[in-house]
Amino acid sequence: MKTLIPVTVAYGDGIGPEIMEATLRILNAVEAPLTYETIEIGEKVYQRGLSAGIEPQAWESLRRTKVFLKAPITTPQGGGFKSLNVTTRKMLGLYANVRPCVSYHPFVDTKHPKMDVVIIRENEEDLYAGIEHQQTDEVVQCLKIISRPGCEKIVRYAFEYARQYNRRKVTCFTKDNIMKLTDGLFHKVFEEVAAEYPDIENEHWIIDIGSAKMADTPEAFDVIVTPNLYGDVISDIAAQIAGSVGLAGSANIGQQCAMFEAIHGSAPRRAGQNVANPSGLLLGAVQMLVYLGLAEEATKVHNAWLKTLEDGIHTYDIYKEGISREQVGTREFADAVIARLGQQPTQLKPVQYTAAAKKSITVNLKQTTAAQKATVGVDIFLHWKKGSAEQLGESLKDFRNGELGLNMITNRGVKVYPGGIPETFCTDHWRCRFTTEEFRPVTYQQILTLMSEINTAGFDIIKTENLCTFDGKPAFSLGQGQ
Ligand code: NAD
């Protein structure tokens, strides 16, 4: 008898229970050697007042099995509740979100018959760090955090994935023409890592024109690696233009744990009607079987599913007169897949997974040495609504501590002092930059003394950012217009 592999399962909200039941029935029919621990997540847990949407005991199951098959949940809108999806990905270190978006022409209607793109989205950082603050009456802020190890893990994963699945090219999407430090780091690490994979083509696109190209000519892309927010947006677009968001599965992979899901949400309006397409979650489950080394079962399920599509057995979301043969519900679709286990598609390309794919993508980070860091100034952010940029500049220019003095003021990033122009719109949120001439080092005590004087003069300091050089190079952005 085969040893059973434990998997944690959550049925989720909305259409979640229906598509999970359909998926598990197919996994049972293929005799996948799995045993399930069920946990409760989502709406009911939020309603019990747990703002994380998950019971503390559920983490024990996840940490024990290290494999999570998760149906979509409904995230309550607005303040107080944190997205469980984001929390789970981060708590379990699931840094790589792998979203294959494939067209199934001519059986599923699409404008892009040759599309076969895998989006590899960074899953732990970027604006999804979820660190937000209201700082003044008029301004709120969200921190975009990008780390070198975070970039290196996801970029290496993308190249390893390309090698493992015989993909020819990895494309990086960033917006580093604007975010030179954060997206700039992602791009830089991409170039460093790409140089180690001469067998795989590499390229970089600015995200705006890159995603326009992807929406227009997706066959120009193969594997796309990109930071968290961009990846979230473009993978929904990619899945939709391939045929339907209801068709795409998603794997969230970490060094120790993994989570598998559909890319779509809980579609509450379709809940309880036996109409939802279970394909996204089923393809997530196929990725799970591959990850667990159950290549034979993964191959059988995937091919039976392709054959079902090919036979025109379609749920409402992909049903089309002239293409489809029969419109079926969630349960009947699962029955059709089960009836085809062991069959192969004849027109769509059959898949063949190998046991070698088991958990096999490991990523080893390069050692880096700490740089010589020096503090050369400070950005002091003020909440101030008493007058013009010129007036603020004039009232701050005499605050000095040693060499440390006012260098410039910006409002929402654009320089407004000295030499601002009246056309620039200003809010009540001012960044006042104090540095030495030629960025010579200062002590933190000098900064504290300066801040203390500004505070005593009645200014409302919201926060500060130290200005540093690393190995002598300034490591902060200039003001726009500087
Ligand atoms: P959604 O993906 O749930 O649904 C959008 C529309 O797509 C639906 O109205 C439906 O017409 C269609 N659709 C989606 N999945 C389908 C399927 N399997 N079969 C047939 N049609 C399908 O997006 P939404 O309405 O913006 O979000 C609903 C809830 O889901 C929200 O609370 C959101 O926060 C949550 N959500 C959860 C996850 C997750 O758990 N991973 C992901 C995204 C959204």
| Ligand 1 and 78: CB distance under 6 A | no
Q: What is the pLDDT of residue 303?
A: 98
Q: Which CATH number, 3.40.50.740, 4.10.780.10, 3.40.718.10, 3.90.1150.60, labels domain 5-358? A: 3.40.718.10
Structure tokens at 229: 């927010």
Which residue ranges of the chain lie beneath pLDDT 70? Answer: 1, 78-80, 357-360
Mutational pocket test of ligand 1: of 70, 266, 283, 332, the residue with most ligand atoms within 8 Å of the beta carbon: 266
Return the HEC string of 86-143: HHHHHHCCCCEEEEEEECCCCCCCCCCCCCEEEEEEECCCEHHHCCEEECCCCCEEEC
Q: What is the pLDDT of residue 216?
A: 96
| Ligand 1 and 261: CB distance under 6 A | yes
Q: What is the pLDDT of residue 197?
A: 97
| Ligand 1 and 88: CB distance under 6 A | no
Element (H, E) at 449: helix 444-456
Tell me if 386 sits within 8 A of 376, measured CB to CB.
no
Q: pLDDT tens-digit profile of 179-192?
A: 999 999 999 999 99
Q: From the alpha carbon of 281, which atom of ligand 1 is closest?
A: 18
| Ligand 1 and 382: CB distance under 6 A | no
Strands 67-70 and 5-10, bridge-based pairing: parallel
* Residues above pLDDT 90, as percent of the chain: 83
| Ligand 1 and 236: CB distance under 6 A | no
Query: Which residues, including other chains, have CB under 8 Å from residue 98's CB and lie 6 or more apart?
Result: 118, 119, 120, 161, 250, 251, 252, 253, 287
Nearest CA to ligand 1 atom 30: 265
Residue 383, CA distances (Å) to 377, 379, 403, 416 in order: 20, 13, 25, 15
Fold type of domain 373-474: Alpha-Beta Plaits (3.30.70)
| Ligand 1 and 245: CB distance under 6 A | yes
| Distance from Cα 188 to the centre of ligand 1, integer Å | 35
Euclidean distance between CA atoms 248 and 242, whole angstroms: 9
| Distance from Cα 26 to the centre of ligand 1, integer Å | 22
Helix then strand count (H, E) for the chain reads 13, 20
In the chain, domain spans:
5-358, 373-474
Please tell me the pTM assigned to this model. 0.92
| Distance from Cα 265 to the centre of ligand 1, integer Å | 3
| Ligand 1 and 72: CB distance under 6 A | yes
Q: What is the pLDDT of residue 357?
A: 65
Residue closest to 417 by CA, chosen among 435, 433, 404, 398: 433
| Ligand 1 and 65: CB distance under 6 A | no
Q: pLDDT tens-digit profile of 321-355?
A: 988 999 999 999 999 999 999 999 999 999 999 87
Give me the amino acid identity at 96: A
Query: Which residues, including other chains, have CB under 8 Å from residue 350's CB and lie 6 or more apart?
Result: 303, 306, 344
| Distance from Cα 267 to the centre of ligand 1, integer Å | 4
Q: From the alpha carbon of 316, which atom of ligand 1 is closest?
A: 20
| Distance from Cα 73 to the centre of ligand 1, integer Å | 9
* Cβ neighbours of 370 (radius 10 Å): 7
